[in-house]
Amino acid sequence: MSGYRFTPQAVADLFDIWSFVAQDNPPAANRLEEAVFRACNFLVGRPLAGRTRKEVTPHPVRFWVVQPYSNYLIVYDPEKKPLRIIRILHNARDLLSVLNEL
């Protein structure tokens, strides 16, 4: 059992990202998805590893870059148990408007 939970929106984000990448390269989509899961497992043990971004949202969430896919961010709540993965976003998205919905 993992120490994190995805919100419904994070599940939808990951599905959309996987589907988009898989159109051209299904193995790459699988590798990206696995990297997201590895990052989430890492954050369970180090919930304060990410950084806050007060310029993006006043909410007490943190941001973590998915390695080696630095274009993707995990937005999570480090205070929730299990760790709550709120969104998984491409960094080209308008984070202010997307996270305004929190």
| pTM, 2 dp | 0.93
pLDDT at 102: 75
Sign, CA dihedral 22-70-60-2, equals positive
Domains of the chain: 4-93 (3.30.2310.20)
Spell out the per-residue pLDDT of the chain, length 102, in tens: 579 999 999 999 999 999 999 999 999 999 999 999 999 999 999 999 999 999 999 989 999 999 999 999 999 999 999 999 999 999 999 898 888 877
Angstrom distance (rounded) from CA 48 to CA 53: 13
Sign, CA dihedral 60-9-99-102, equals negative
